[in-house]
Amino acid sequence: MLASFEHIVPTFPLTWAITTLDLPQFESTWHFHPEFELTYIRAGQGTRLVGDSVGEYVPGNITLIGPEVPHTYVSTPGELKHSAVVMQFKRDFLGDGFFDLPLFASVAALLRASRRGVSFAVEDDVIARLERAAPAEKTLGLLELLVDLSHRTPDILASDQQTPALNLVSAQRIESMVRLMHTDFASDVTLADIAAAAHLTPSSASRLFSRSTGSSVTIYLNVVRVNAACRLLRDTDASIASIAVDSGFTNLSNFNRRFRDVKRMTPREYRAGFTLDAVSQL
């Protein structure tokens, strides 16, 4: 894996870091660090890369990513607000051997599983209470959150990862390709266009992207387009045919095939699921 290193400083007086991000969008930064990272998505949606996993993130998702696992979050254009709470900590943030105690065996198992990235759904008030708490209570809140997650069944995101090699130039090239795909996904963007953004030939760009992310350029672009379509299916009454075009697909049948490849359901079924959820809350 090729990614850039990120240095993380604990949030004084804590022995770990917590940051609330409120941004117009999350930009691609393909990176890794020796800390565990727990990211809660409060607002916005987009594409999440964890190791060789490419998928969608939506509000309510919380994802635990292990040390040295390369990752990034990239927002889908079209939404006005993107917000996340990011908690980063080392295994010994509560002291050496803390999670080796038998009573925290489930948390230790969760931390081991995070080398592949694990994701859950969490209510916002759980995270909001942690944000507002005083430092001591904030640390207890993080521990309580880890214990809670350790008793749930996670979505496993990636295959087992090896420690990435530090290569800043390659990471910047990956970021350039990802940025172009997220900016121009609705147009007829080609592999040559994507490669040019990274100052590479198409074959070199294809090899680098596949080796670094575990996904081909074509598959990643389809995921970005499908994720953009999901937002339109959830938030608008536009026809499925027009959503297909607005998401960068040249014809409806191809859109339906690619949507099913990514979501394991049709666009109509995806939209119906959100309609039923809205009705059930009335």
pLDDT digits (tens, 9 = 90+) for 110-157: 999 999 999 999 999 999 999 999 999 999 999 999 999 999 999 999
Give a yes or no: residue 45 inside a domain.
yes
pLDDT digits (tens, 9 = 90+) for 199-235: 999 999 999 888 877 789 999 899 899 988 998 998 8
Question: Comparing 183 with 88, which gets the higher pLDDT?
Answer: 88
Segment 145-173 mean pLDDT? 81
Same domain, 52 and 141: yes
Amino acid identity of 220?
A: Y
Q: Which helix (H) or strand (E) holds 252?
A: helix 252-263
Give a yes or no: residue 151 inside a domain.
yes
Is the pLDDT at 4 greater than 80? The verdict is no
Q: What is the CATH number of the domain that holds 50?
A: 2.60.120.280
Q: Contact 51/214 with Cβ under 8 angstroms?
A: yes
Q: Contact 38/64 with Cβ under 8 angstroms?
A: yes
Distance CA 53, CA 9 (A): 27
Token pair 């290569």: residue: 167
Give a yes or no: residue 211 inside a domain.
yes
pLDDT at residue 166, as a whole number: 45
Give a yes or no: residue 162 inside a domain.
no
The burial class, CB within 10 Å (0-12 / 13-18 / 19+), for 53 is buried
- The closest alpha carbon to 56, from 275, 208, 230, belongs to 230
Q: Which residues of 78-87 are buried (b: 16+ CB within 10 A; e: fewer)?
A: eeeebebbeb
Give a yes or no: residue 90 inside a domain.
yes
28 band by pLDDT with thresholds 50, 70 and 90:
low
Segment 250-254 mean pLDDT? 93
Amino acid identity of 223?
A: V
- Mean pLDDT, the chain, rounded, equals 88
Same domain, 152 and 187: no
Same domain, 124 and 34: yes
pLDDT at residue 101, as a whole number: 96
Strands laid side by side in the 61-65 sheet: 17-23, 82-89, 36-43, 61-65, 118-121, 155-156
Segment 53-58 mean pLDDT? 87
Domain count across the chain: 2
Is the pLDDT at 67 greater than 60? The verdict is yes
Same domain, 176 and 150: no
Give a yes or no: residue 12 inside a domain.
yes
In the 8-state DSSP scheme, what is residue 93?
T
Same domain, 234 and 151: no
pLDDT digits (tens, 9 = 90+) for 75-94: 887 766 889 999 999 999 99
Length of the chain: 282
Give how far Cα 214 sits from Cα of 27, 191, 217, Å: 20, 17, 10
68 band by pLDDT with thresholds 50, 70 and 90:
confident
Q: Helices (DSSP H) in 86-167: which residue ranges?
A: 105-113, 124-132, 135-150
pLDDT at residue 71, as a whole number: 86
Give a yes or no: residue 163 inside a domain.
no
Distance CA 77, CA 184 (A): 10
Same domain, 113 and 172: no
- The closest alpha carbon to 221, from 2, 47, 4, belongs to 47
Is the pLDDT at 70 greater than 50? The verdict is yes
Classified as helix, coil or strand, 121 is strand
Question: Comparing 63 with 28, which gets the higher pLDDT?
Answer: 63
Q: Contact 75/44 with Cβ under 8 angstroms?
A: yes
End of a domain among 134, 156, 178?
A: 156
End of a domain among 122, 156, 190?
A: 156
Amino acid identity of 105?
A: A
Can you say whether the dihedral through the CA atoms of 120, 123, 129, 132 is positive or negative?
positive
β-strand partners of 84: 21, 41
What is the extent of the structural domain holding 250?
168-280
pLDDT at residue 227, as a whole number: 87
End of a domain among 99, 134, 156?
A: 156
Distance CA 165, CA 182 (A): 25
Residue 18 structure tokens: 């917590």
In the 8-state DSSP scheme, what is residue 60?
T
Residue 118 structure tokens: 């694990």
Is the pLDDT at 12 greater than 90? The verdict is no
